[in-house]
Amino acid sequence: MNDLAELKTFVVAHAVSQGLPAGHYDPLLARIRHDEDGVPGSWAFEWSALADDLAAEGRSLEASVHYTMARFPFVDGPARARALERATGEFARWSTAHPALRRLDVELPAGRVRCWTTGLDAGSTGEAGGAAGPRPLLVMTGGIVSTKEQWAPVLLGLAELGFAGLVTELPGVGENTLPYRADSWTLFPALLDAIGRPAGTADVYLLALSFSGQLALRAALHDDRIAGVVGAGAPVREFFTDPAWQRRVPRVTTDTLAHLTRTSAEDVYPAVRDWALREDELAALRIPVAHVTSLRDEIIPPGDARLLRRLVPRIRLLAHDDVHGAPSHFAQTRLWTLLSVLRMHGGNAPTRLALTRQFARLRYADPAVRSAA
């Protein structure tokens, strides 16, 4: 059973990212009194009840969002298992109205990875209007508590930017049945192999949020198809190695990490200690890296962002005076991460200029935003 106060605190960033206003989720959270599996007044029951109503009204995307909140932070019983099944089912139903979205299942020796994609079979357009090879690819992944359905709608806007896209999950999260372990960074090369991305073509950009950012940075050391990494709130080194910090990490994070790594809360941090990126590995990154950090992050220690700033040669950092996930700065983060991908790739000059101006307006309207961009 999860700590209810922590659930209510940490779900806010996810609710905001899904477009749910406080006036909508606050009354719902007030109805939640405990976390017993499937019982009225419980986390999964109350979120799922509202999701059931939305599904009955044919509002499949909204239903999927609410089922996703019901399974937060991970499946630990029948009620959350049902919520995950309904979340993926309602999203699939919504996707039928958007033929550009396509499902992709990748079978690997250690398990199955399910993805949503767009534009994988479309060529880019040259100046003369002819096909000029496959589009650059944006691969997006969330952290240890977020599913692909939370981010997949972003795919619908990529075609006008000239990108193909793929959204999936961290190993062990949602429908990704791979184990979460030290070699989980191989997820990215395996996906690129599965879709036939040729070696030696550096046109893949990883938008890897939270814990998947650590996997993305390590993958970039091994796969020359990766041309840039954009992350937010990623553990790098001290999260994995500092016992004093680990004792401060919220229980929901520790329990989720233990669940995914198939260990106990007592054993999880010794089990992941060797996952830390070494200083020489960070210094060896030659691709551009952009990273968003929260100055009051309760999960990721501030030293990890300092390591990125000090060691990664081509780093851009954006800092928010906020908690993990920066829920009060979601608009700025979303804009800046997209702008970072476009900067890395080049081209799209009018779009980059428009986004730069838009970000500047948001930045200077909010004195809490600090940027090294």
Does residue 280 sit in helix, strand or coil? helix
32 pLDDT higher than 60: yes
**Helix, strand, or coil here: 19?**
coil
Least confident of 3-17, 61-75, 142-156: 3-17
pLDDT at residue 113 in the model: 97
- Sign of the Cα torsion 201, 344, 181, 150 reads negative
111-118, strands of its sheet edge to edge: 102-108, 111-118, 164-168, 137-141, 204-209, 226-232, 289-294, 315-320, 369-371
pLDDT in tens, 48-66: 999 999 999 999 999 999 9
* 97-123 residue pLDDT tens: 999 999 999 999 999 999 999 999 877
What's the pLDDT at 290?
97
Query: Which of 263-267, 286-290, 350-354, 368-372 shows the lowest mean pLDDT across its residues?
Result: 368-372
What share of the chain in percent tops pLDDT 70?
Answer: 95
pLDDT at position 16, please? Answer: 87
38 contacts 70 by C-beta, under 8 angstroms:
no
Q: Give the pLDDT band of residue 328 (cuts 50, 70, 90).
A: confident
Instruction: Give me the helix-helix angle, 43-56 and 22-31, nearest 10°.
Output: 130
pLDDT reported for residue 81: 97
Instruction: List the structure tokens of 288.
Output: 């551009």
**pLDDT confidence tier of residue 274, bands split at 50, 70 and 90:** very high
Give the mean pLDDT of 256-277: 97
Q: How far is CA 325 from CA 112, 136, 211, 335, 360, in A?
A: 28, 27, 11, 14, 21
Amino acid found at 159: A
Average pLDDT over residues 133-148: 94
What is the predicted pLDDT for the residue at 124? 61
Q: Are strands 111-118 and 164-168 parallel, antiparallel or unpaired?
A: antiparallel
Question: What pLDDT sits at residue 359?
Answer: 80
pTM of the model: 0.92
- Output the CA torsion sign for 249, 14, 373, 288: positive
Q: Give every CB contact of residue 255 below 8 A, 6+ residues apart in sequence.
A: 2, 73, 265
pLDDT band for position 1 (cuts 50, 70, 90): confident
pLDDT over threshold 80, residue 132: no
DSSP string, 215-242: HHHHHHTT-TTEEEEEEES---SHHHH-
